[in-house]
Structure 1
Amino acid sequence: MVKIGDIELGDFPILLAPMEDVSDPPFRKVCKKYGADLMYTEFISSEGLIRDAIKSRAKLDIFDYERPIGIQIFGGDEEAMAMATEIVDATGPDLVDINFGCPVKKVVCKGAGAAVLKDIPLMERLTKAVVKSTKLPVTVKTRLGWDESSKNIEKVAERLQDVGIKALTIHGRTRVQMYKGEADWTLIARVKENPRIHIPVFGNGDIDSPQKALEYKNRYGVDGIMIGRAAIGYPFIFREVKHYIATGELLPQPTIEERVDACLQHLEFSLSWKGPKLGLIEMRSHYSNYFKGIPNFKPLKVRLLTSNSQDEVLEILNEIRQLEFV
């Protein structure tokens, strides 16, 4: 049984990655339905929370059916991280996660996210500030290092565990790699094999099929895996991975009916949570993934992406439901 503090996650949990502009409550709802064991919010700026920025505050929305759920924060200032943690704590998540892995320039330029990989003592201080500001379990998501010459994750893992984190998720790339090239899980395995490390270690990067999930589980010995991009428009990946690990058998591909139902649930919650206008607009980035591989989908896709009418979108989804898809 894998545990983060007192949170029980099963024998080999499958986690949903925190993804900016993706991992909002509507998206998390469908991922939970199809089997995600632990989910995280989009990352939230510690400075934004302290300033009471509307966008940052909206990301604190969590719902009981999502549990266990972690709220992820980022920042480069100890005091701001401590204050943000107290704000997060008050909203009642199951854990607090620190982002030390985001490679995006606008985050790194502020000395946050993956930028902290260049300053391990700062990483320790920031983590300590968060741990001291909450009774909730604190976890960290990070990368192998800043670049090829500074893959320091083994040292980082020990130091962060010593500071008090309860689990560590490692993306198998450096910051310089961004999302290019193949994720290297060998260092993730070395962290897991380190006799000093007793907290759960989760691997992240390139898991896009049940077969790869099982292969990486067996080869690298991690306690669980985190799935990000492969879940966008395809929440079915969670149930497929779990079934394959349990039985060695691949589930059949989701039917067109299931795809439409999942998309519809996502859309309906998006409309209710964000409002009819924004909810409709922000769903546009998901349609291509929900209906990937459907023959002659392009004309329907164009209509979905240009429609400003909820009724029209529902009508188009009903048309898709009637299509034959093998």
Structure 2
Amino acid sequence: MDDGPTAELAGEEPKVSYESHETPSVVIVGGGVVQQTPEDLVAKAIAPVKREFLLPPPIRPCSKDSNDVASDATKSAPSNLLKEKKSKRQLKRERLQEKKSVLHLCPEVARSGDPSTCRYNDKCRFSHDIEAFKDQKPADLEGDCPFLNNEGPCPYGLTCRFSGTHKDGLPAEAFNGQKKSPEMNGLNKDVQKLLWKNNMKFPKADAQLKLLGLLGHMKSVQAKLSEEEEGDRTTPNRSIAADENGGCEVAGDTNIKMDHSPQPPEEDDCAGGTFASDELRPPKKAKSSVDENHSRNELDNGIGKLKKDIEKSCSQNETGSTADCIPAETDGSLKSHPREKKLIDFREKLYLAPLTTVGNLPFRRVCKVLGADVTCGEMAMCTNLLQGQASEWALLRRHSSEDLFGVQICGAYPDTVTRTVELIDQECTVDFIDINMGCPIDIVVNKGAGSALLMKPMRMKSVVQAASAIVDRPITVKVRTGYFEGRNRIDSLIENIGQWGASAVTIHGRSRQQRYSKLADWEYIYQCTRKAPDALQVLGNGDVFSYLDWNTHKSDCPELSTCMIARGALIKPWIFTEIKEQRHWDISSGERLNIMKDYVRFGLDHWGSDAKGVETTRHFLLEWLSYTFRYIPVGLLDVIPQRLNWRPPSYFGRDDLETLMASESASDWVRISEMLLGKVPAGFTFAPKHKSNAYDRAENG
């Protein structure tokens, strides 16, 4: 169903039949009113909303901005959705001033209600003035504390925005005996310190890299990277936001230092898996004993020595065993790992794609309630994980309700990816590890990761081989059709991907160059699926927005294991329910609001119920609302189901709340957040990180 022309000229008839009415619709085009049939509108990728729900042409005063996102207290101020950029020094100064504020109460004092419980006493950098805090604390929010059912007091104590609902009479010591958190995969402090000091050992990864002849290269690259990091201390941290369909977009500060302007990667790699055209890689050296050019006799003579080195390396690992580290194959290639893999059957399962920024743990919990079978964490950068960055490790968090859960990592080289895989295998509870080889954004591609790997098949081979050989968890891969539009190449690699050790591959039906300018090429996904070996499961990804889309892809290509759902879940997370129940859910505005209430409850449970946790929950709720407004209720359409590339005309809903939810104004999204989380703080502003190609406006994402 997703094959077709561009979003602007979607003129081909879809493969599925649509329920349609013949009543002409009135559409506002260029300030005029034009009557067109639903079929004409669909041909132009305009949503055929019923005539009685269409709005008249808007009258927009030139001097007034309708997209002001400030609260009621700041609506009279000039509209400026984009926050002023501040230097690191200024941000640090503001944080220090905030900590000195009486509103920044010491956590220990907040929990116990007694200033004497803080072990730092007068040297504590937080306030201990409980009375001053109570005088300035905002009013409590409506509802109960999300930690009310825990076996102990709320961990946020007096700072909780629901403190009025706390149970009295519980001793402070009860906090230590509260119920175990349902979240897993937290970063151990001892491990974090080892990562900070670069003292973490990776015996399995190092042994495998040595067998592949990549360990020497790794040490040289790490030394050079360390030198460059010293010179890049002032480089702003990367900020990545959710893009459509589970990719990523750069957000925030775009002044990130790059060695070169965006350039496509080299077409070919050097033979034997060494890396070419990369400024971070050392010059070519003589290849190791596993060089493809060596004869079989020379290789066999070197295997004994390699095994001894591997045994020595593995003996440093207290938890591992030597047998786990020695590959069974001795012919210079890694055809398979000796241990039997824990296979996952993705067939017919509803897979929620890894969605950067919006695909956080509370959102995944919402999707699980609505019927998702498989969930995957947000894309995490390998280099940041190996540096022990807490913010990156937070992307690996898992809730106990996620019964089939994986994490997605992104790296440029076999060394970083393999070490990250070993680290995750040791420290986290996951069912599979997905390697992103399809991320299209420049900041990732320019470093040789993401879609850049599609142009380097030998490096892809090294990454998948090394990673899959050291863990018994399934290794999956996510790719795009190719780097350049019109030059697809996954069909030529699909057989090799299975031989390298991957258990499954997800194909996003667009190239890196396309981004999201056209509909996904499902015919090409089918072509690749039919070429894949039986042991390799193939998942399709792109433009799945209804159960009819799902049924069409499954019937057109029975060999396809399942479809990954990304934008469809962002815009309407109840798509999982629709697919399982095989119906179009004409969901009411009240039911949609209840889903948002669940998200807020999950968010407070995850980020905290204090002021900071409330505003973090609000921020991510607003990011999600920047997608949900694109949903058009089933009862308002002349043709169903809605398609992802349809542009909605101006319309109103069946009630005031439905009309509010359909607004593309960020100020209305803030109003919805205030219905769930109370009034926004004074001076509050919001600008969505992601700006869709289909809804790109200068003022409002």
Structure 2: distance between partners of 1:31 and 1:308: 22
The Cα RMSD (Å) is 2.2
Aligned residue number for residue 86 of structure 1: 422
Whether 2:462 is the aligned partner of 1:125: answer yes
Contact 2:356-2:378 at 8 Å conserved across structures: yes
Report the AA paired with residue 226 of structure 1: M
Aligned residue number for residue 263 of structure 1: 596
Report the AA paired with residue 539 of structure 2: F
Q: Which of 608, 624, 634 is 1:286 aligned to? A: 624
Give a deviation string over 1:118-145, Cα, whole Å, max 9, x none: 1011011111121123210111111111
Contact 2:475-2:503 at 8 Å conserved across structures: yes
Structure of larger gyration radius: 2
Give a deviation string over 1:263-321, Cα, whole Å, max 9, x none: 111112222322222121121122354464444314882543785982348xxxxxxxx
Aligned residue number for residue 487 of structure 2: 150
Whether 2:396 is the aligned partner of 1:29: answer no
Give a deviation string over 1:158-212, Cα, whole Å, max 9, x none: 1110011111110011111011101111221122212634321110011112111
The structure with higher relative contact order (CA 8 Å, sep 6+) is 2
**Residue 13 of structure 1, CA deviation:** 1.6
Aligned residue number for residue 384 of structure 2: 48
Structure 2: distance between partners of 1:16 and 1:195: 23
Aligned residue number for residue 572 of structure 2: 234
Aligned residue number for residue 276 of structure 1: 614
Aligned residue number for residue 301 of structure 1: 668
Q: Which of 487, 511, 516 is 1:174 aligned to? A: 511
Structure 1: distance between partners of 2:407 and 2:466: 16
The SS at the match of 2:605 is helix
What TM-score, normalized to structure 2? 0.41
Structure 2: distance between partners of 1:160 and 1:257: 46
1:47/1:296 CA distance change after superposition, 3 Å: same
Aligned residue number for residue 542 of structure 2: 205
197-206 vs 269-278, greater mean Cα deviation: 269-278
1:302/1:16 CA distance change after superposition, 3 Å: closer
Contact 1:259-1:290 at 8 Å conserved across structures: no
Q: Which of 53, 64, 67 is 2:403 aligned to? A: 67
1:306/1:13 CA distance change after superposition, 3 Å: closer
89-98 vs 252-261, greater mean Cα deviation: 252-261
Contact 1:138-1:167 at 8 Å conserved across structures: yes
Report the AA paired with residue 235 of structure 1: P
Contact 1:186-1:220 at 8 Å conserved across structures: no
Contact 2:625-2:669 at 8 Å conserved across structures: no
Aligned residue number for residue 677 of structure 2: 310
Structure 1 residue ranges without an equivalent (≥5): 245-249, 314-326
Report the AA paired with residue 597 of structure 2: L
Structure 1: distance between partners of 2:673 and 2:344: 43
What TM-score, normalized to structure 1? 0.86
**Residue 256 of structure 1, CA deviation:** 2.3
1:268/1:233 CA distance change after superposition, 3 Å: farther
Report the AA paired with residue 71 of structure 1: V
Contact 1:153-1:187 at 8 Å conserved across structures: no
Q: Which of 311, 331, 354 is 1:18 aligned to? A: 354
**Residue 50 of structure 1, CA deviation:** 0.3
Report the AA paired with residue 213 of structure 1: W
Aligned residue number for residue 252 of structure 1: 585
Structure 2: distance between partners of 1:193 and 1:306: 46
Contact 1:18-1:41 at 8 Å conserved across structures: yes
Give a deviation string over 1:210-254, Cα, whole Å, max 9, x none: 11111121113311000101111421001102222xxxxx24322
Provide the aligned length of Structure 1 versus Structure 2: 304
**Residue 146 of structure 1, CA deviation:** 0.8
Structure 2: distance between partners of 1:308 and 1:84: 42
Structure 1: distance between partners of 2:355 and 2:532: 31
**Residue 104 of structure 1, CA deviation:** 1.1
Whether 2:459 is the aligned partner of 1:96: answer no
**Residue 257 of structure 1, CA deviation:** 2.7
Structure 2: distance between partners of 1:119 and 1:287: 38
Report the AA paired with residue 272 of structure 1: D
Aligned residue number for residue 205 of structure 2: none
Structure 2: distance between partners of 1:268 and 1:301: 21
Report the AA paired with residue 575 of structure 2: I
1:88/1:256 CA distance change after superposition, 3 Å: same
Contact 1:117-1:123 at 8 Å conserved across structures: yes
**Residue 149 of structure 1, CA deviation:** 4.8
Q: Which of 336, 339, 343 is 1:6 aligned to? A: 343
Aligned residue number for residue 523 of structure 2: 186
Contact 2:621-2:673 at 8 Å conserved across structures: no
Structure 1: distance between partners of 2:599 and 2:402: 14
Structure 1: distance between partners of 2:535 and 2:417: 25
1:203/1:310 CA distance change after superposition, 3 Å: same
130-139 vs 298-307, greater mean Cα deviation: 298-307
Contact 2:358-2:620 at 8 Å conserved across structures: no
Contact 1:15-1:36 at 8 Å conserved across structures: yes
Could you tell me the percent identity over the aligned residues? Answer: 29
Aligned residue number for residue 113 of structure 1: 450
**Residue 72 of structure 1, CA deviation:** 0.4
Structure 2: distance between partners of 1:192 and 1:99: 19
The SS at the match of 2:433 is strand
15-24 vs 215-224, greater mean Cα deviation: 215-224
